Amino acid sequence: MSTETPATTGTADGTALTEAARGAALALGDDALVLSHRLGEWAGHAPVLEEEVALANVALDLLGQARLLLSLVGDEDELAYLREERAFRNLQLVEQPNGDFARTIARQLYFSTYQRLLYAALAAGGGPFAPIAAKAVKEVAYHQDHAEQWTLRLGDGTAESHRRMHDGLAALWRFTGEMFQPVEGLDVDWRALEADWLASVASVVERATLSLPEGPRTGAWAAGAGRQGLHTEPFGRMLAEMQHLHRSHPGATW
């Protein structure tokens, strides 16, 4: 089965994308798609009903972003359900298992802060991603606020919630460095983006009576591994689950 993406791609106004822009759209789309699936795994398992609805809404926002971005590259369904693991270009951070609720919030704090800053830069800079980024940044601002509020509640809550929030932030810290490795096709000041991210996250963590984890901010491989198609072990299992129905009934329609 072929996993190559279609060659005919472009923006809504018919402008053809460069090969670099197609790669960037794939990377950003995969980030949103994979995290959307991870958050969707909370359905029926969230600590309270209100939070189940909130996480589902965040997941749907991300899925909408993924569809728009992947459609710039090719057929969104084929890209989501028929590619092999090594063809995905998402960050390793977003593929990490949910763990407990605090770990999910730590992942969301790290990623939504990054995503809001990135989309704001893309929206202001023009180019093929500006329209999508301008719309998405409003959604992501809510995602970030949601993660920040829970970080504060858990960090400055009970001794147990404080411990769990601390552990969640520490467990995912090594995956955060990859977010700031330059992506070809995105005209962004990555160093400034990283500095703003660190300042924003540090402020929230400090207010939550916690501290930023220590240690390197790279994973088991060189930073940028997820963008190169190198993923962590949990991703393969998640992908098999996500693609199972489509692969079991190829060509089926509703």
Eight-state DSSP code of residue 9: -
Helices (H) and strands (E) in the chain, counts: 8, 0
Q: What percent of the chain has pLDDT over 70?
A: 91
pLDDT of the residue at 137: 97
- Residue 60 sits at the vertex; the CA angle it makes with 157 and 183, to the nearest 5 degrees, is 90
- Rounded Cα–Cα distance for residues 144 and 138 (Å): 10
- Rounded Cα–Cα distance for residues 163 and 154 (Å): 9
| Sequence-distant contacts of 188-194: CB under 8 A, at least 24 apart | 188/118, 188/121, 188/122, 188/125, 189/121, 193/114, 193/117, 193/118, 193/121
Task: Give 243: exposed, middle or buried? Use CB within 10 Å, 0-12, 13-18, 19+.
Answer: middle
pLDDT of the residue at 250: 86
On the question of pLDDT at 243 being above 90, the answer is yes
Average pLDDT taken over every residue of the chain: 91
Q: What percent of the chain has pLDDT over 90?
A: 80
Q: Do the Cβ atoms of 46 and 55 come closer than 8 Å?
A: yes
Eight-state DSSP code of residue 193: H
Q: Dump pLDDT digits (tens) for 183-202.
A: 999 999 999 999 999 999 99
pLDDT of the residue at 188: 97
pLDDT of the residue at 254: 60
Q: How confident is the model at residue 12 (pLDDT cuts 50, 70, 90)?
A: low
Q: How confident is the model at residue 44 (pLDDT cuts 50, 70, 90)?
A: confident
The CATH number of the domain covering residues in 19-248: 1.20.1260.10
Q: Do the Cβ atoms of 25 and 68 come closer than 8 Å?
A: no
E strands, 117-244, are: none
On the question of pLDDT at 14 being above 70, the answer is no
Least confident residue range of 4-18, 19-33, 37-51, 123-137: 4-18
- Rounded Cα–Cα distance for residues 40 and 43 (Å): 6
Task: Give 96: exposed, middle or buried? Use CB within 10 Å, 0-12, 13-18, 19+.
Answer: buried
